[in-house]
Structure 1
Amino acid sequence: MRLPQHLQKYIVEQDYGKYTAQDQAVWRYCLRQLKNFLGQHGHPCYSEGLTKTGISVEYIPKISEISKCLEKFGWTARPVSGFIPPAAFMELQSLGVLPIASDMRTIDHLLYTPAPDIVHEAAGHAPIIIDEEYADYLKQYSQVAKKAIISREDLDLYEAIRDLSDTKENPASTVDDIVKAEIKLTGTIKSITHTSEASQLSRMNWWTAEYGLIGDLDNPKIFGAGLLSSIGESKWCLSEKVKKIPLTVDCIEQIYDITEPQPQLFVTPDFKTLVKVLHQFSETMAYKKGGKDGLYKVLAAQSVNTIELDSGFQISGVLDSYLTASFESEKIIFTKFSGPTQISLADQQLQGHGPDYHQHGYSTPLGKFTASGLTLNTDVTFQYESGFKITGKLVDCTTIEKNSVIYTFENATMTYNDQIYFKPEWGLLDILQGSEVTSVYGGPADREAYGHTGDFVASTVPKVKYNDQQMKIFELYQKIRDIRTKNNVTEKLIQDTFQDCKNKASHEWLLFVELLELSLKFNLVVQSEIQSHLDVIMKENNELNQVITDGIKLAHA
């Protein structure tokens, strides 16, 4: 399937050769731990889903191979780089495309990384998609999320979160870099003045697709990708320290911190309930309600959005202002957009009415009117019931559909309550037929024709440069990886490799966990020395105790 032009910029080459032997070892450790724990505590389809989506414990998957497997379930997968804007992510999912971050978490962030990586996307999202009801929820959610109003504040927050996550995951980042990114995020959060629809839906996504639990409230199973891909949080979340709350539409009121473990989680009894909750919230959204409430939301958003009229016309841009018949009235009589504005019908930009033509904005009165005549190239007066009045030479009258008419005036003046809203020297005046705002939603109606908007910024995770010491460590990981493929592993081979690792990378704990696993598998004497060395590493660095202990346990399994 060929993606729309505005989405193609997020797709990257996976570049499988960039993964180091250490990356492969980190993947293997994560997947072994996750599969062992989630076989009991994950949704029943998790283990089956790993197999059916072509995901192996032994090596980082090729996204093209995952995509081929997902085709059986009506999906495909495409590689992306790190965080992509929520609007782009949702539009891809609405097309049945699972975006998979091709980047791999570092060994320092093995238990959890706030930045999207291939463990999160492939081992978290992909396996659950084989469940038909869950896949249906994802697509329906994405269709609704596409209509959500995204505010300028949302975009600033997204940028700050992405900056902090990428900074934390980048091995080249200094403590000062991280502190600066944290200060930026804190300041951005404090500056938020309102909660947008997109923000509310992101919370729903967080508490379901990312951090959702399913089943019995007292003994739930895990299905959220954030939990399925986090060794630390998958265990933490089921403890009594994490409050379990029945899932309702109220989850949209619960904020979250992407950089910290969650103190509470929501439990859905089944996947069908996800759809019910989604539909319940969607009924409150501006794309369903339109009118004054919808315009109020996009006015606060100060981002590119679309209003749709009862005549079918769609006006896309940044709403500057609107007027109602009276202060208490719900009836919209005038809308004004600032900056590049697009006019469309059925999601197709009308010829000659793109953001280049309406680059300085657009305004039109709404409602019923009487005309002194509709003869082209004659002076005509439109008198609206609201009190708006237009006079000028009618130079064009284009009927696109039965009730979709554009009137174009030359030398026009538009007035209301003795105020001038359009002057002759401003050029041609295009007026849309329409009486009501039936729908209001996020983004332009014809996104591809509109071009760049602030919610679709593309960026890539910078390529890591490794030093000589790191390259030597990678060689050790590769050596162990090669040994694992052998059928006959001798005491001398493991002993020599153990000494080599001690001499060149004595604190690289994962090397020794892998060596311990091999020594146990082949019942070698050197296992006690390897175990002793791991004990020393744990004494010297308490922060590694849990990951090493978990690795040792699984090596003995």
Structure 2
Amino acid sequence: MQSLPKHLQKYVVEQNYEKYTPLDQAVWRYVLRQLKDFLSKNAHASYLEGLEKTGIDIEQIPRIENVSAHLEKFGWRAVPVSGFIPPAAFMELQSLSVLPIASDMRSIDHLLYTPAPDIVHEAAGHAPIIANVEYSNYLKQYAQVAKKAILSKQDLQQYQAIRELSDIKENPSSTPEQILLAEEKLKAVMAETQFISEAAELSRMNWWTAEYGLVGDINNAKIFGAGLLSSVGESKWCLSDKVKKIPLTLECVKQAYDITEPQPQLFVARDFNDLGQVLDELAQTMAYRKGGVIGLNKAIQAETVNTVQFENGFQVSGVLKKYLTASNQSIAYVQFEGPTQICFSDIEITGHDAKYHQHGYGTPVGSIKKFNVTELKIKDVNELHYESGVKVTGRLDKIKKISETAMILTFSQASCEFNQEKLFLPEWGLYDVILVNEVTSVFGGPADRAAYGEVDDFIAARVQAPQYTEQQKKLFSDYQKVRSLRENKNSTLGDFKELFLKLSQASSPEWLLFVELLEIGYHKNYDAGFLKLIEFHLTTLMKKNKETQSLIVEGLRLAHAKH
């Protein structure tokens, strides 16, 4: 973790493997058995071999450090995080070839699908498909583009609302009132959305590919998106006729999504190379490639910290307040507000950090009439007359040469004006003018993120550790007894019968306990008549709770199929 940039370290947590209860392990085992059974026929061919290559064991929740060790063979590594981390942070980690794995485990109540990222989603969804070289290359390409995307103030608000809703829905102690309140909050935030930012478009691209993507023949598409690879319910739903299949094009970024509900349509890529082609089409529309007034307008609209880059390598990072144009519509001046950083080729220039320029920064842009730097005289009053009409007057205190074409002129007692508008006044202190002609790129975040410091960013929230009751602890003990029975090679039929009778007499509604017992019985070829007794007990549980009926049926099916 120490090798990660400081602003990303706040999202990394300890996995704390001991926090997983025997029930968590049973849920993992059930989900992975179901997924492997269905996805062996319906996922991209890379998935099953990817499970093995990345060290994902069906029998137990993986240790993230072990997954990381396996991923290193493919040029990646993994770190544990808590729940839903910001898309921007997720993408920046991926740009560093780091897979963030949510260390939390879904509850038995959300066994088939959970709106909150968990270790099933990340480890069993994202990790295996990374073993495919073409897809891995796409992810890295995507992350490099995504980290340049301009993030808006409204994106921050939406993320916080989505995170809150997904966490509340996954929390078993949440009340219907709390869920409704969080849903209403998200609806209100979404209703206030005035435009779709670049970050939102990249988020949609990610959603319809890396999370919910299909690949191959549109009439026989295979699953590769992690959201589907980690959800038994959605993986079956998505391949049904109820879900519309659409060829993947750039149009996918116009399609919004709901993170808390199954998707009504999905996009199908021809192959993994197709993903990169669509991504490049999207990149061509972005401010980091467009620059100019298109890029500046996006930055102003976002109201967040972004970087304006110039032709000679100068970069100014901060919240862009406005820009001015000359009569020929060329950019004449840029003005930032709040902490602003000046960089050259992604490295902060000494003496020009966000603390020094804490009240903002502005500079003229464009060519200067009859300008020759060798004619400038230190300590003399100098005037700069720009072709645009901007005029700078002041005593030249210093010339800082960064490169052959990049210089900073520092004036005292300076003033700057354009079309009778005062852009800088002598009483404001020293005036640093960077000599630049053209805005070639505008991209999200500071140029030197580590040097800039904390920005108005996403909160590094933590999923709260549950507090278990004595009744729950007793339940965990029962699951552990079943697990021990499976793992103990010396266990006998007598041990098996004794445990079943004890659990059934206690009137336990825990269907998963008995599915696990049935699997053990079939695996060890125990008395068929006694196994019928367990099946009858499960049938009784099905009648008592229709919500678990399909889960029990699938558990019975696999128990029969695997013996």
1:318 counterpart SS class? strand
In structure 1, stretches of 5+ residues that fail to align are none
Query: Is residue 60 from structure 1 mapped to residue 61 from structure 2 by the alignment?
Result: yes
Normalised by the length of structure 1, the TM-score is: 0.98
1:153 counterpart SS class? helix
Q: Post-superposition shift, 1:457?
A: 2.8
Query: Is residue 542 from structure 1 mapped to residue 551 from structure 2 by the alignment?
Result: no
Q: Post-superposition shift, 1:424?
A: 0.8
Contact 1:112 1:232 in 2 (8 A): yes
**Which residue number in structure 1 is paired with residue 444 of structure 2?**
442
2:322 counterpart SS class? strand
Equivalent positions of 1:107-118 (< 5 A) are 107-118=108-119
1:13 counterpart SS class? coil
1:219 counterpart SS class? coil
Contact 2:158 2:190 in 1 (8 A): yes
Equivalent positions of 1:107-256 (< 5 A) are 107-256=108-257
Contact 2:368 2:385 in 1 (8 A): yes
Q: Post-superposition shift, 1:488?
A: 4.8
CA distance in 1, matches of 2:364, 2:220: 58
Distance 1:379 1:505, change over 3 A: farther
Name the stretch that deviates more: 363-372 or 415-424.
363-372
CA distance in 1, matches of 2:425, 2:530: 90
Distance 1:410 1:263, change over 3 A: same
Equivalent positions of 1:455-466 (< 5 A) are 455-466=457-468
Structure 1 residue identity aligned to 2:294: D
**Which residue number in structure 1 is paired with residue 484 of structure 2?**
482
Equivalent positions of 1:60-459 (< 5 A) are 60-326=61-327, 329-370=328-369, 373-459=375-461
Structure 2 residue identity aligned to 1:76: R
1:241 counterpart SS class? coil
Q: Post-superposition shift, 1:11?
A: 1.4
Q: Post-superposition shift, 1:526?
A: 2.4
Kindly, what percent of the aligned residue pairs are identical?
58
Structure 2 residue identity aligned to 1:365: P
**Which residue number in structure 2 is paired with residue 44 of structure 1?**
45
CA distance in 1, matches of 2:49, 2:193: 42
Q: Count the aligned residue pairs.
A: 555
Structure 1 residue identity aligned to 2:454: H
CA distance in 1, matches of 2:421, 2:64: 60
CA distance in 2, matches of 1:232, 1:500: 32
In structure 2, stretches of 5+ residues that fail to align are none
Contact 1:4 1:448 in 2 (8 A): yes
CA distance in 2, matches of 1:499, 1:473: 15
CA distance in 2, matches of 1:451, 1:458: 15
Contact 2:160 2:458 in 1 (8 A): no
Normalised by the length of structure 2, the TM-score is: 0.97
Q: Aligned Cα RMSD in Å?
A: 1.3
CA distance in 1, matches of 2:432, 2:271: 51
Structure 2 residue identity aligned to 1:406: I
Contact 1:318 1:339 in 2 (8 A): yes
Structure 1 residue identity aligned to 2:342: I
CA distance in 2, matches of 1:157, 1:292: 27
Structure 2 residue identity aligned to 1:404: A
Contact 2:113 2:231 in 1 (8 A): yes
**Which residue number in structure 1 is paired with residue 10 of structure 2?**
9
Structure 1 residue identity aligned to 2:280: H
Name the stretch that deviates more: 103-112 or 509-518.
509-518
**Aligned residue among 529, 551, 558 for 1:554:** 558
- Measured against aligned partners, the alpha-carbon deviations of 1:338-377 in whole angstroms (never above 9, x if no partner) come to 1111110111111111111111111111011135951111
Q: Post-superposition shift, 1:504?
A: 4.3
Query: Is residue 529 from structure 1 mapped to residue 533 from structure 2 by the alignment?
Result: yes
Contact 2:292 2:439 in 1 (8 A): yes
Structure 1 residue identity aligned to 2:208: W
Contact 1:473 1:504 in 2 (8 A): no
Q: Post-superposition shift, 1:10?
A: 1.4
Contact 1:7 1:88 in 2 (8 A): yes
Name the stretch that deviates more: 491-500 or 268-277.
491-500
Contact 1:491 1:526 in 2 (8 A): no
Contact 2:326 2:389 in 1 (8 A): no
CA distance in 2, matches of 1:291, 1:325: 13
Q: Post-superposition shift, 1:330?
A: 4.5
Contact 1:287 1:441 in 2 (8 A): yes
**Which residue number in structure 2 is paired with residue 26 of structure 1?**
27
2:260 counterpart SS class? coil
Structure 1 residue identity aligned to 2:47: Y
2:489 counterpart SS class? coil
CA distance in 2, matches of 1:94, 1:404: 29
CA distance in 2, matches of 1:454, 1:414: 30
Structure 1 residue identity aligned to 2:535: Q
2:402 counterpart SS class? strand
Q: Post-superposition shift, 1:490?
A: 3.5
CA distance in 1, matches of 2:430, 2:365: 18
- Measured against aligned partners, the alpha-carbon deviations of 1:213-259 in whole angstroms (never above 9, x if no partner) come to 01111011100000000000000110011111111111111111100
Contact 2:363 2:433 in 1 (8 A): yes
Query: Is residue 520 from structure 1 mapped to residue 533 from structure 2 by the alignment?
Result: no
CA distance in 1, matches of 2:365, 2:242: 56
Structure 1 residue identity aligned to 2:82: S
Distance 1:273 1:330, change over 3 A: farther
Name the stretch that deviates more: 3-12 or 238-247.
3-12
CA distance in 1, matches of 2:499, 2:341: 66
Q: Post-superposition shift, 1:500?
A: 2.5
Name the stretch that deviates more: 197-206 or 447-456.
447-456
- Measured against aligned partners, the alpha-carbon deviations of 1:437-486 in whole angstroms (never above 9, x if no partner) come to 00000000000111111234312111111110000000010000000013
1:550 counterpart SS class? helix
2:285 counterpart SS class? coil
CA distance in 1, matches of 2:335, 2:459: 26
Contact 1:494 1:526 in 2 (8 A): no
2:173 counterpart SS class? coil
- Measured against aligned partners, the alpha-carbon deviations of 1:82-122 in whole angstroms (never above 9, x if no partner) come to 11111111111111111111111111111011111100000
Q: Post-superposition shift, 1:505?
A: 5.9
Q: Post-superposition shift, 1:304?
A: 0.6
Distance 1:505 1:207, change over 3 A: farther
Contact 1:292 1:330 in 2 (8 A): no
CA distance in 2, matches of 1:556, 1:330: 74
CA distance in 1, matches of 2:122, 2:150: 25
Q: Post-superposition shift, 1:171?
A: 2.1
Contact 1:87 1:455 in 2 (8 A): no
CA distance in 2, matches of 1:345, 1:541: 65
2:140 counterpart SS class? helix
**Which residue number in structure 2 is paired with residue 492 of structure 1?**
494
Contact 1:111 1:230 in 2 (8 A): yes
Contact 2:156 2:458 in 1 (8 A): no
Contact 1:342 1:354 in 2 (8 A): yes
